[in-house]
Structure 1
């Protein structure tokens, strides 16, 4: 049985993933500028990619195991993990191998990640609010 707590945990994990995705954009902007000390921000961006991947994986596992009834949510959360992994791989190729041409794919994929990263917690959060409303009406 799916509980309000299940939806709340999913919303929290997905919301944290969305925050990390947005922070990745901020950190990328800091080293894409003309800052001569950009290596430190590249490292922060790299660590942020790992944190985002782990958080998205935790969210997808939770949603898939506990909220299987919401098919778009669990499929979207799995797509998010795959997209974050692909994005991190592209970033590694750019940084480690100097393949700057991949930036033309890396940046648009980041924009798609922002969209998916925002939609997923909003969808899960809507269910939390719906459960709360139903509980209030039943009381």
Structure 2
């Protein structure tokens, strides 16, 4: 199901999101490791963008990476995320953004040896997500 693209002013985002959510989702911040709501959850369900609600990941692709943030080996639909080269902080990484509202979600890393089907680790801030448990 395709959702219409979400475009809001900075003022509208600030009104919708808490200051911590705004710092991560709109300013590409990072929550502290091992503090996020979904880091260790094993709940079965669907993870969506906290800013716009588009589906991003499913719990069956979530795995234990012990990195301090929820890790997934693939998005539920590759069209729902955008991957952007990130050279900030003197590192070369790939940023993951929501394709629907352009919110920052985290980063993706490849070839770290976790033994996942894709050999990818989508390292996502809990604060960028909501979890809808399945029955």
TM-score when normalising by structure 2: 0.27
Which structure shows the higher strand fraction?
2
TM-score when normalising by structure 1: 0.27
- Structure showing greater radius of gyration is 1
Which structure shows the higher helix fraction?
1
